[in-house]
Amino acid sequence: MKMKSTFLSLAALLAATTIYAAPQVGGKAPDFSVKDTNGKTESLSQYKGKYVVLEWTNPDCPFVHKHYDSGNMQKLQKEFTAKGVVWLSINSSAEGKQGNYTPEKWNEIVKEKNASPTAVLLDNGGTVGKSYGAKTTPHMFIINPDGNLIYAGGIDSIESTNAADIPKATNYVQAALDEAMAGKPVTTPTSHPYGCGVKY
């Protein structure tokens, strides 16, 4: 009986590990289907053939403030969406948690920040975040036109809330997109994500 109980506990642990296991860089990025702030269903598969950036975000997080108040995130969004890259900002804050807002409020935030994502996805149940193992805001992922994950990690190399650090940091997202779009291998395919914990 004890062995059976241990086996069931182990099975439950493995199942939980499977649910929360992050996809591996070089492997297929998990598909998803989730509504954006305008009520449109967005899925990764609909963007096959394009580069896609996934940016986990929470407007109340000081690390997110660093990159938006400075204009750093918007600059990246504008630069790469102009080159045909799909940029999906994703909020996985659960109802009642920090950063969980109505679609209308989200559209106000995007306008106020002069942000330029292709869409803001509302992953309030955390399904997409957990399928990618998203840990922080921001946590960045880049998917190539074949649907493979080519970058996962932090936006840059200096883990701080100080906007003055941005010019001194290596921007891993910029570098990975520049290299991949030029047909070169990504020099830094993974890095340590930093920021506030995702509010699942």
Give percent of the chain above pLDDT 90. Answer: 88
CA atoms within 13 A on the CB side of 23: 23
Give pLDDT, residue 20: 52
DSSP one-letter code for 31: P
* Range in 5-19, 63-77, 184-198 the model is least confident about: 5-19
> Domain ranges in the chain?
2-197
Q: 2-197 belongs to which CATH class?
A: alpha beta
* Residue 6 pLDDT exceeds 90: no
In tens, the pLDDT along 17-70 reads 334 567 899 999 999 999 999 999 999 999 999 999 999 999 999 999 999 999
Helix runs in the chain, H state only = 2-20, 62-69, 72-81, 103-113, 127-132, 172-181
Q: What is the mean pLDDT of residues 139-164?
A: 98
> With contact defined as beta carbons under 8 Å apart, do 107 and 38 qualify?
yes
Give pLDDT, residue 79: 98
The candidate with the shortest Cα–Cα distance to 198, out of 81, 100, 75, is 100
Give pLDDT, residue 11: 39
Give pLDDT, residue 17: 36
> With contact defined as beta carbons under 8 Å apart, do 137 and 64 qualify?
yes
Q: What is the mean pLDDT of residues 170-187?
A: 98
In tens, the pLDDT along 51-61 reads 999 999 999 99
CB crowding 159-185: b at 16 or more within 10 Å, else e: eeeeeeebeeeebbbbbbbebbeeeee
Question: DSSP labels for 91-136?
Answer: E-PPTTSTT---HHHHHHHHHHHT---SEEEE-TT-HHHHHHT--E
In tens, the pLDDT along 101-128 reads 999 999 999 999 999 999 999 999 999 9
Q: CA–CA separation, 40 vs 59, rounded Å?
A: 21
